[in-house]
Amino acid sequence: MVPAMVDPRGEVPVYRQVAAMLRARIADGTWPPGAALPSEPDLAAEFAVGRDTVRDSLALLRAEGLIETRRGFRTRVREPQPLQAVPVAPGVTVSARMPTPEERRKLDIGDGVPVLVIGGEVYPADRFAGEGTSTKLR
């Protein structure tokens, strides 16, 4: 494990420094998809910061869709899911936004996962993708 160092007097807030290092470890495969991160108290001890600061950094990664947290469980790196294609016929509009609380509940959408709106229909973006088509399907 690379020695972790944060600079409390740096221009970048400590929780963003911590987030950057955690992000780097996810990117370089130290914690591959599905792997559990160290507990919040352990991370706080390693970086010599308060647990709340660690939680702030984890909140960043969660909002980016990089990790999943559940009460009682260890925090885990999100695993990419296969994307199901949704046809995008000529003239059809495709937009994206964050889901409403109701959509999040009904469609079981995790934190940091947007929705695709294709022709008025709402699709969780971690499970669906649009694909342009030449003929209009119906």
Point out which residues bind DNA (CB under 7 A).
8, 13-16, 37, 39-42, 49-53, 55-56, 58, 69-75
# of chain residues touching a second copy (CB under 8 A):
37
Check: CB of residue 78 under 8 Å from CB of residue 33: yes
The residue among 5, 25, 16, 24 whose CA lies nearest residue 58 is 16
Which one of the spans 3-11, 30-38, 69-77, 84-92 is the region binding a second copy (CB under 8 A)? 84-92
CB closer to DNA, 51 vs 127: 51
- Measured CA to CA, the distance from residue 80 to residue 42 in angstroms comes to 26
Interface of this chain with a second copy, residues 29 to 58, rule: CB under 8 A? none
Q: Which tokens is 58 given?
A: 């984890």
CB closer to DNA, 58 vs 116: 58
DSSP state of 106: H
